[in-house]
């Protein structure tokens, strides 16, 4: 089977891979939901869903640093990476061991494409199609729900020291737009550093979202940013629903409804 991944690499797969290493937490969750738990042999320390996998499978490092010796010892048939989560150096090093599939996610359409690719790659197309159908149904229901909502100017923070936000070209920004959240940093790209003391002149958001990951924002940070944001409504949000793709999207739209009910 010839399969082209989401960055254009062509994979020549003779047989269905049965020893999988995932270097991306959201993709590990997707593998589990596709019914592939028994084929996962390695994952990262950040692969926390479902939590029991960390106790059952070999940890091969993080998303930015990996232990190549552990990976080689597992004799994987395929390694799953992501353009944003993993470095090019990691991908190249893994390609010297076995085929590597790299995802590249900026939209829900990209997510659905990835799920279907995994379905084809791992002989789980029926499961993949069911997940995609559920996501599509839930998305359509959410679009009806959000239609009458007013747009709100928002800032979505992912890091502190330095303060960093999600901007244009990210999956987070795509989901913000879906929620009718106007990203005040939408004129910037990717994950820029920003000066929170300039937040009023740079957009004066009505709502500030502080993500639970990768930086674990807490209530004290709500107070800190409130002092410079004219006390915009600041909410701690579950970053997994804004940044994890794959089967996490099945639950995401209900979470977004709950978030809007808090505004």
pLDDT digits (tens, 9 = 90+) for 81-95: 999 999 999 999 999
Predicted local confidence at residue 67, as pLDDT: 97
CATH homologous superfamily of 2-138: Nitrogenase molybdenum iron protein domain (3.40.50.1980)
Place of tokens 């552990």: 70
Instruction: Indicate the SS3 state at residue 84.
Output: coil
Could you give the count of Cα atoms lying within 13 Å of 138 in the half-sphere of its Cβ? 18
Predicted local confidence at residue 125, as pLDDT: 98
Torsion of CA 85, 87, 92, 95, to 10 degrees: -10
- Top CATH class of 149-262 equals alpha beta
Q: Where are the domains of the chain?
A: 2-138, 149-262
Predicted local confidence at residue 146, as pLDDT: 98
Q: Specify whether the backbone of 94 is left (phi greater than 0), alpha (psi in -120 to 50) or beta.
A: alpha
- The average confidence (pLDDT) of the chain is 96
Predicted local confidence at residue 1, as pLDDT: 86
Which residues are CB-neighbours of 33 under 8 A, at least 6 positions away? 127, 131, 246, 247, 250
How far apart are alpha carbons 193 and 160 in whole angstroms?
9
All residue ranges of the chain with pLDDT < 70 are none
């Amino acid at each position: 089977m010839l399969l082209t991944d989401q960055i254009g690499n062509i994979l020549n797969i003779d047989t269905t891979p049965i020893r999988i290493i995932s270097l991306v937490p959201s993709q590990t969750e997707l593998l589990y939901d596709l019914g592939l738990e028994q084929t996962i042999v390695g994952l990262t320390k950040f692969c926390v869903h479902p939590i029991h996998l960390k106790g059952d499978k070999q940890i091969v490092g993080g998303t930015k640093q990996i232990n190549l010796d552990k990976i080689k010892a597992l004799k994987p048939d395929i390694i799953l990476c992501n353009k944003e989560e993993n470095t090019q150096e990691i991908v190249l090093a893994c390609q010297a061991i076995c085929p590597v599939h790299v995802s590249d996610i900026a939209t829900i359409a990209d997510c659905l494409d990835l799920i279907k690719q995994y379905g084809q790659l791992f002989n789980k197309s029926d499961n993949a199609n069911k997940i995609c159908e559920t996501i599509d149904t839930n998305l359509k229901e959410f679009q009806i729900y959000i239609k009458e909502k007013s747009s709100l100017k928002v800032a979505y923070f992912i890091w502190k020291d330095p303060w960093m936000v999600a901007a244009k070209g990210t999956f987070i920004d795509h989901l913000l737009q879906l929620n009718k959240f106007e990203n005040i940093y939408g004129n910037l790209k990717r994950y820029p550093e920003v000066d929170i003391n300039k937040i009023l002149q740079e957009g004066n958001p009505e709502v500030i979202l502080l993500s639970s990951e990768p930086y674990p924002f807490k209530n004290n940070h709500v107070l800190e940013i409130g002092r410079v944001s004219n006390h915009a409504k600041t909410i701690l949000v579950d970053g997994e629903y804004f940044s994890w793709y794959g089967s996490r999207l099945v639950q995401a739209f209900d979470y977004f409804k709950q978030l809007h009910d808090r505004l």
